[in-house]
């Protein structure tokens, strides 16, 4: 079964997964079991939005963005402790964060409407204007549309194409004629009606709203919405059945990278519309531009620059108008830093029975400095500046010197990076045993010795460099 508006998915297969899931048997607090159509419909809409995410749809990208620090607007931030207790991490943009948002959304629908797609406004409230009257699964009103331009765009899409899987959501639900009554006129009244006639609209607009205006929902504000592991398990089954629904992910906390900067510069020279901000951040506009380029050049539309996309961009320039592809060394260094970050977070990842231990607040910035330092040494000039000193001392004196306030200590920024890696060496391995034997004699902590030795060697190299450049007096040989 294919819905006319939504990105095509095998709705029947997805609905079967939902019907046989443990979520279908859950008794929700104060609400009982969900109507069969609600569980099935939410599973189908997750599959639809996940497909849209893979295609670079701007609304889906907004839903799937990594959790922000703004708990006043972002429901994922407001519910961060509850997600952490269930082991659901939302710090990386992409399919996992989208899935967890749908877990919250499923709980919200049960709280607001008991899963009834045709639910009218709350009759105990006085919200009877076109913009304030609530409607549909999530009791959303049109006055939330100012939170994101994606909400009016979604309304226009559904008005033009209908759809929204109403037939699926209707299973087990009895609607009265009065349920489809609207209040006021104009766009607000049209939104009320369409949220009930096309439940997919209610799902997508509420998903965007939860990321931008969480205060719109009282049960969210009061933490009354249940997060159920059964919902996440069902959605994971849907994701697996749809081939993993590989969707683009972008950098945690939107950190700038050399590869992304090159990508933005290249796409701008190729006429990206709108023009991209060349900031090295793989945000929504960059991923949309990548998707457009891929579509125009017959590539798989994924929204991220894989090898085929980079090669296609380079082929468009045969006369030196654009620099070659992103430097391999710099790119690998960036990946190294991200690996270190992931390893550190694995150690602090909470369990349902443990209180999460936050990572040191300056860790990410230190790792970023480590990247800058390593890039300055291995890829001189990558930052567009001419190093005033040699590679070794230029990096030490300028980058490391600034970071450590002029203290060229051996336990510096490179120690941060190496310690993060070496701290994962099992004690029973050969390397672990060697480290354990070396460090006590020197009076250093278990993983400080190799860092100390490495940076001591670096210091010797720096001295050799100065001698070769005649910027330091030659060594005195004892008589």
Q: Residue 232: what pLDDT?
A: 96
- Burial of 345 from C-beta contacts in 10 A (0-12 / 13-18 / 19+): middle
Residue with tokens 């045993």: 433
pLDDT tens digits, one per residue of 205-243? 999 999 999 999 999 999 999 999 999 999 999 998 887
Q: Residue 198: what pLDDT?
A: 94
On whether the pTM is more than 0.85, the answer is no
Torsion angle in degrees (nearest 10) through CA of 339, 345, 351, 352: -110
Q: Residue 178: what pLDDT?
A: 84
Domain extents for the chain?
Answer: 11-245, 252-326, 338-469
Beta carbons of 397 and 419 less than 8 angstroms apart: no
What is the share, in percent, of the chain residues with pLDDT greater than 90?
41
Q: Residue 310: what pLDDT?
A: 81
| Separation CA 5–CA 367 (nearest Å) | 45
The CATH code belonging to domain 252-326 is: 1.10.101
Q: Residue 139: what pLDDT?
A: 95
DSSP letter assigned to residue 135 = B
DSSP letter assigned to residue 389 = S
Q: Could you tell me how many residues make up the chain?
A: 479
User: Which tokens in the block code for residue 392?
Assistant: 């070794």
Backbone angles phi, psi at 119, to 5 degrees: -60, 130
Residue with tokens 């659901």: 88
**Nearest C-alpha neighbor of 142 from the set 157, 152, 154:** 152
**Nearest C-alpha neighbor of 261 from the set 273, 278, 247, 275:** 278
- Mean pLDDT, contiguous 10-residue spans, the chain (479 residues): 60 94 96 97 96 90 92 95 91 93 98 95 76 94 95 94 90 91 92 95 97 96 97 94 54 54 87 86 77 83 72 74 52 51 47 45 52 50 47 45 40 46 50 47 45 52 55 53
Q: Residue 288: what pLDDT?
A: 80
Q: Residue 426: what pLDDT?
A: 53
Q: Residue 161: what pLDDT?
A: 85
């Amino acid at each position: 079964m294919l819905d006319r508006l939504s990105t095509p998915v095998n709705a029947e297969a997805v609905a079967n997964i939902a019907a046989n899931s443990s979520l279908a048997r859950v008794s929700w607090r104060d609400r009982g079991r969900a109507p069969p159509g609600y569980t099935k419909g939410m599973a189908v809409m997750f599959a639809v939005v996940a497909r849209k995410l893979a295609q670079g749809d701007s609304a889906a990208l907004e839903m799937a963005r990594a959790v922000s620090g703004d708990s006043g607007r972002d429901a994922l931030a407001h519910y961060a402790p509850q997600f952490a207790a269930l082991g659901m991490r939302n710090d990386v943009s992409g399919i996992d964060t989208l899935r967890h948002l749908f877990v919250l959304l499923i709980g919200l629908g049960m709280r607001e409407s008991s899963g009834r797609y045709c639910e009218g406004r709350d009759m105990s409230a006085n919200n009877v204007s076109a913009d304030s009257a609530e409607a549909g699964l999530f009791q959303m009103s049109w006055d939330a549309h100012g939170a994101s331009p994606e909400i009016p765009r979604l309304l226009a899409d559904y008005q033009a194409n209908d759809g929204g899987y109403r037939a699926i959501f209707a299973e087990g639900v009895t609607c009265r004629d009065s349920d489809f009554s609207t209040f006021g006129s104009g766009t607000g009244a049209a939104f009320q009606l369409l949220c009930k006639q096309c439940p997919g609209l209610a799902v997508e607009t509420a998903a965007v709203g939860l990321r931008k205006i969480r205060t719109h929902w009282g049960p969210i504000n009061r933490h009354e919405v249940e997060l159920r592991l059964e919902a996440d398990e069902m959605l994971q089954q849907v994701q697996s059945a749809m081939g993993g629904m590989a969707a683009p992910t972008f950098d945690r906390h939107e950190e700038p990278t050399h590869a992304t900067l090159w990508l933005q510069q290249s796409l701008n020279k190729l006429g990206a519309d709108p023009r991209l901000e060349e900031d090295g951040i793989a945000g929504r506009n960059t991923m949309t531009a990548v998707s457009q380029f891929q579509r125009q050049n017959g590539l798989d539309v994924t929204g991220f620059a894989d090898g085929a996309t980079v090669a296609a961009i380079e082929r468009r320039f045969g006369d030196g108008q654009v620099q070659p592809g992103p430097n391999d060394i710099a790119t690998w260094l960036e990946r190294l830093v991200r690996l270190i970050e992931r390893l550190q977070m694995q150690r602090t990842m909470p369990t349902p029975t443990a209180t999460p231990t936050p990572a040191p607040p300056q860790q990410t910035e230190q790792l970023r400095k480590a990247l800058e330092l390593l890039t300055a040494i291995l890829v001189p000039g990558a930052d567009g500046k001419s190093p005033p000193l040699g590679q070794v001392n230029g990096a030490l004196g300028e980058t490391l010197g600034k970071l450590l306030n002029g203290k060229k200590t051996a336990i510096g920024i490179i120690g941060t990076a190496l310690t993060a890696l070496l701290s994962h060496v099992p004690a029973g391995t050969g390397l672990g045993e060697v480290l354990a034997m070396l460090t006590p004699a020197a009076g250093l902590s278990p993983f400080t010795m190799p860092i100390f030795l490495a940076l001591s060697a670096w210091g010797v190299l720096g001295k050799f460099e100065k001698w070769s450049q005649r910027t330091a007096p030659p060594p005195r040989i004892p008589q």
